[in-house]
Amino acid sequence: MSHQAIYRQYRPKTFDEVIGQQHITETIKNQIMRKSTAHAYLFSGIRGTGKTSTAKIFARAINCTNNTDGNPCNVCDSCLSILADRNMDVIEMDAASNNGVEDIRDLREKVRFLPSQSKFKVYIIDEVHMLSKGAFNALLKTLEEPPPHLLFLLATTEPQKIPATILSRCQRFDLRRIGVDDIIQSLKDILSDLGVKSEDEALRMIANSAEGAMRDAQSLLDRCLTHNNKMITYKDVTTLLGTVNYKTILEFTDALIKGDIRNTLILLDDILAEGKEISTFLEDLIAHLRNLLIVKSVKDSQKFIKLGEDAVQQLEVQSKTLSVQDNIRFIEDLSETLSLCKKAVNDRILLETRVIRLLSTSQMLKPEAFQKKETTVEIIAKNHKNESQATTEPKNDKKPHNQKNAELKLIKDQWENILAVIKKEKVTFNAVLKEAEPYNVEGDEVTVRFGEKFNFHFNRANNKENVELLQRIISSILKKNCTVKFVIDNGDEDSSSRVSKQQLKEELNQKTFDMFGEDKVEIIE
C-alpha cells in the first residue's frame, strides 16, 4: 500500500476537529443548524491553517442527511460520496490553473442545472485571488444573482488581491495562525495513534518552525518519521530543519553579551562544522534577539513570540543580562551582516570580521554597567564669580599620579570610539563633543574641556541626558562609576564675565533653533 501523507491522513473530518478556528467553525455550525447560510463564503489565511479543510467539511455538512449539530455525519450516502470524490455536485477548482474567462463562463453554464444527488451544488475555488480580471467579472455576475441551490466556497492566502465587488458579496472568515501549544497537542495525538514516541523539545521545535501552519508541522513530522519511525528526537528535528540547536543559540548570545570574541568564534566554528548555512544561523540568531527584545519590553511577551513557557523562561533569564540599547544594536548590525553575507564571496570571513567589530565596540558598553543603578549627577554651569573655577581651566594644576595618567590616557585613546557610540544614540551631542577633549581624571571625576570660543557647545553639553550618557560610557571604560565635569579653556579671563558677555548671543541662538529647527541651523563662532 502506498504511503499517504500525514496531512491527508489526518485531515479534519468535522468542524470540531479543525484546530484553532473555533471562532469560525462555531458560527458556520450555527448557520447550518438554523438553515441561514449565505450563498458565498471567503476563507482567508496563511497556508496550512485549514481553509480548504473547512470548505470541504462545509460542503458535506450542508448536504448531510443526518446533520443534527452542524457537523457532517460522514456516514450517510451524501457524506461518503463527497469523501470519496465521486459526488458530481461538489466541484473543487484550483484558480491557479483555471483562471481564465472561459473557465468561469463554463462554470456559469453548469451552475444553472439543479444538483443531481445533493441538496446544494457546491463550488470550492482554491487560491481564488489567481483569477484574471475578466474571470472575476464573469464570476461577479453569478454572485450577484445566485440560484438558491448554489454555494460558493472561496479560499485564498491573499485576500487583498480580490476585487471589492467580490468581497462585498461574500461572508468573509479570516483563519488565525494556529498556536504552538495547539500544534504540539495535535502532533502528540497523531504520534500516539501511530505508536511513535517523541521528545517534548522535538515537538516544540517542529511547532515553532511551522509558524502557525498545521500542514507545515505535519509535513515536517512526516519527514521525521521517514528518518526514524520509532522516536522523534530533538537532534533529528534540528538536522532535518537545517537549523542551529537552540541551546547553541543561547550560548552564542551569552558570548555576544559578554563580549567574548574567542568563545563566539569557537561556537561559530562548531556551528559551521555541522554543515549549517550561515544565513540560516544568522536568521535564527536575529529571531532569538528579537524575542529577547520583546521579553525585555513587553509584559505579556508570550503573546508575541509564539514560544512555549520553557523557552520564555530561558529568554527572561538571558534578557536580564542584555540592555535594550545593546539588543537593538545587535539586531541592526547582524541584520546588515545577514544581507551582506548573502552577497559575499566568502561569507564566513565576512561574518567573523563583523562579529569581532561588533564586540570590540560592545566592550565600551559592558552590559553590567547598564544594569547597575547609577546616581544621576547634574552638572550646571554657574554664572557667578565665586564658582568660576567650576567652569574655567585651572592654570597651575599639579600633574596627576600614574593611575590618573593611565585613566586619562585610556579615555583619550578611546575618545573617537566614544564619539562614534554617542553618534548612534544622539547625533547632536556628538557634534557638540567634537569640540571638546578629555582633560583630567581626579578620583571618580572626569573633566572634559572645551576651547575658549565654544561657550555655546559647553552649555549644550550640560544637558542632563548628555551628561548621563557620557558618564555611562566613561564608567564602562574605567570600570567604575564616574561623574563628568565640563570646563572651558578661557585663559586668565573670569568665566562669569565670559558667560555674561555671551548671554544675549546664547539666547538669540536658542530662539533661532526653536524657530527653524536645530538640524537646520549651523552656528559659526
pLDDT, tens only, 269-318: 988 888 788 998 999 999 999 999 999 888 877 778 766 566 777 888 99
Residue 50 has pLDDT above 80, yes or no: yes
Other CB atoms within 10 Å distance of the CB of residue 104? 25
Sequence-distant (6+) residues with CB within 8 A of 136 are 162, 163, 165, 166
Local structure of residue 320 (DSSP, 8 states): T
pTM to 2 decimals? 0.59
For every residue of 360-394, DSSP letters joined together read: HHHTTS-HHHHHS-PPP-------SGGGGGGTB--
Look at 185-189, 234-238, 253-257, 385-389 and tell me which has the smallest mean pLDDT: 385-389
The continuous run of DSSP H or E covering 25 comes out as helix 22-34
Q: Over range 409-428, report the average pLDDT.
A: 86
pLDDT in the model for residue 495: 43
- Higher per-residue pLDDT: 188 or 397: 188
Averaged pLDDT of the chain: 83
pLDDT digits (tens, 9 = 90+) for 427-453: 888 888 988 999 999 888 999 999 888
CA distance 236 to 234: 5
CA distance 224 to 243: 14
569640540: which residue's cell?
435
Task: Provide the 3-class DSSP secondary structure of residue 246.
Answer: helix
Q: Which amino acid is at 312?
A: V
Residue 337 has pLDDT above 90, yes or no: yes
Residue 371 has pLDDT above 50, yes or no: no
| Residue 330 to residues 253, 256, 291, 359, 515, Cα–Cα distance (Å) | 10, 9, 13, 9, 37
pLDDT in the model for residue 506: 60
Residue in 465, 361, 459, 377 with CA at minimum distance from that of residue 419: 361
530533538: which residue's cell?
234
Residue 519 has pLDDT above 80, yes or no: no
pLDDT in the model for residue 180: 86
Sequence-distant (6+) residues with CB within 8 A of 399 are 405
Sequence-distant (6+) residues with CB within 8 A of 209 are 216, 217, 220, 241, 243
For residues 289 and 317, the answer to whether their CB atoms sit within 8 Å is no
Q: Over range 225-253, report the average pLDDT.
A: 85
Look at 114-118, 337-341, 364-368 and tell me which has the smallest mean pLDDT: 364-368
∠ CA 429-430-435, rounded to 5°: 100
- What's the distance, Cα to Cα, between the start and end of the chain in Å? 89
- Higher per-residue pLDDT: 424 or 162: 162
pLDDT in the model for residue 421: 86
Task: Provide the 3-class DSSP secondary structure of residue 338.
Answer: helix
pLDDT in the model for residue 289: 95
To the nearest 10 degrees (0 to 180), the angle between helices 133-144 and 101-111 is: 20
Other CB atoms within 10 Å distance of the CB of residue 159? 19
pLDDT in the model for residue 255: 92
HSE value, Cβ hemisphere, 13 Å, CA-based, for 201: 10
To the nearest 10 degrees (0 to 180), the angle between helices 309-319 and 278-297 is: 80
527584545: which residue's cell?
293
pLDDT in the model for residue 378: 34
CA 426 to chain centroid? 25
For every residue of 459-508, DSSP letters joined together read: HHHT-HHHHHHHHHHHHHHHTS--EEEEEE--TTS-HHHHHHHHHHHHHH
Query: Could you tell me which residues are beta bridge partners of residue 153?
Result: 41, 124
pLDDT in the model for residue 161: 93
| Cell output for 113 | 442545472
pLDDT digits (tens, 9 = 90+) for 312-336: 778 889 999 988 988 999 999 999 9
Query: Could you tell me which residues are beta bridge partners of residue 392?
Result: 488
pLDDT in the model for residue 399: 43
Residue in 153, 163, 122 with CA at minimum distance from that of residue 52: 153
- Higher per-residue pLDDT: 242 or 340: 340
Please name each of the domains of the chain with its CATH number: 6-174 (3.40.50.300), 180-241 (1.10.8.60), 246-363 (1.20.272.10), 385-520 (3.30.300.180)
Task: Provide the 3-class DSSP secondary structure of residue 445.
Answer: strand
CA distance 319 to 417: 26
Q: Over range 49-71, report the average pLDDT.
A: 94
> Could you tell me what percent of the chain has a pLDDT over 90?
45
Helix and strand tally (H, E) in the chain? 25, 10
- Higher per-residue pLDDT: 390 or 31: 31
pLDDT in the model for residue 286: 95
CA distance 37 to 70: 11
CA distance 152 to 37: 11
| Cell output for 427 | 547625533
- Higher per-residue pLDDT: 32 or 398: 32
For residues 101 and 141, the answer to whether their CB atoms sit within 8 Å is no
Residue 241 has pLDDT above 50, yes or no: yes
CA distance 28 to 22: 10
Pairing mode of beta strands 436-442, 445-450 = antiparallel
Residue 164 has pLDDT above 80, yes or no: yes
- Give 494's pLDDT tier (boundaries 50, 70, 90): very low
Pairing mode of beta strands 150-156, 40-44 = parallel
For every residue of 127-160, DSSP letters joined together read: TGGGS-HHHHHHHHHHHHS--TTEEEEEEES-GG
